[in-house]
Chains A and B, each alone.
Chain A
Amino acid sequence: GAVVSQHPSWVICKSGTSVKIECRSLDFQATTMFWYRQFPKQSLMLMATSNEGSKATYEQGVEKDKFLINHASLTLSTLTVTSAHPEDSSFYICSASPVRTYGYTFGSGTRLTVV
């Protein structure tokens, strides 16, 4: 149980286009989801906390207009990278916290390459 599904697993896009990444909780409801970015050989960097039915809370230094987060239902949060540039190329991962007895679970990640 407590599975988080993330799609796509990898995507290549042209500079200037937008890319949407989906994060779904398959067997539980997630009022809160977290979006991370990870550079090679580094730990996870929290980008934002996604709250169902309200605006996301972004970490300092993260551009809200570039990384749009929508959490429209209790099982789906999306991250849209707008007007992507090569420097946005990275590994993006989502996470959710199911019931208190379980611990936080992560999606499989999305590797974004902007060319």
Chain B
Amino acid sequence: QKEVEQDPGPLSVPEGAIVSLNCTYSNSAFQYFMWYRQYSRKGPELLMYTYSSGNKEDGRFTAQVDKSSKYISLFIRDSQPSDSATYLCAMTPEYGNKLVFGAGTILRVKS
């Protein structure tokens, strides 16, 4: 079993839809959680960063962490075709240590 599980998709939604992306993990020591967006042939772009449990909102993006369930989510509101990309979750037990990544979910937003 992988430390971090993420459905690779692809997930296809119409423009304007609310997108829900999720990851589950097995290591209860994880405390720092990140979501990245990666376009083809580009480096990952940090979208959201959260510490421990709770919610965080930034524009159209909301990140949720439920440590009791070992489950994290990223919500994208009013999705746009430009949001079409691969979304990666990543986490680490101590800040500065190496990240453990999910497999990435391919998102396609159709206009």
Within 23-61 of A, Cβ neighbours of B (below 8 Å) are at 32, 34, 42-44, 46, 49
Interface stretch (choices B14-22, B70-78, B92-100): B92-100
Cα distance A105–B36 in the bound complex, in angstroms? 9
In the complex, are the beta carbons of A104 and B88 less than 8 A apart?
A: no
B107 within 8 A of A: no
Decide yes or no whether A77 CB sits under 8 A from chain B. Answer: no
**How many residues on A have C-beta within 8 angstroms of the other chain's C-beta atoms?**
22
B45 interfacial contact with A, CB 8 Å: yes
B residues whose Cβ falls under 8 Å from a Cβ of A: 32, 34, 36, 41-46, 49, 88, 90, 95-96, 98-99, 101-104
Which A residues contact B (CB, under 8 angstroms)?
Answer: 6, 32, 34, 42-44, 46, 49, 91, 93, 95, 97, 100, 102-109, 111
Nearest 6 CB-CB pairs, A to B? A103-B49, A106-B43, A109-B43, A108-B43, A106-B44, A100-B95
Could you list some 27 contacts between A and B, CB below 8 A?
A: A6-B43, A32-B96, A34-B99, A43-B101, A44-B44, A44-B88, A44-B101, A46-B98, A91-B41, A93-B43, A93-B44, A95-B99, A97-B96, A102-B49, A103-B32, A103-B34, A103-B46, A103-B49, A104-B34, A104-B99, A105-B46, A106-B45, A106-B46, A107-B43, A109-B41, A109-B43, A111-B41
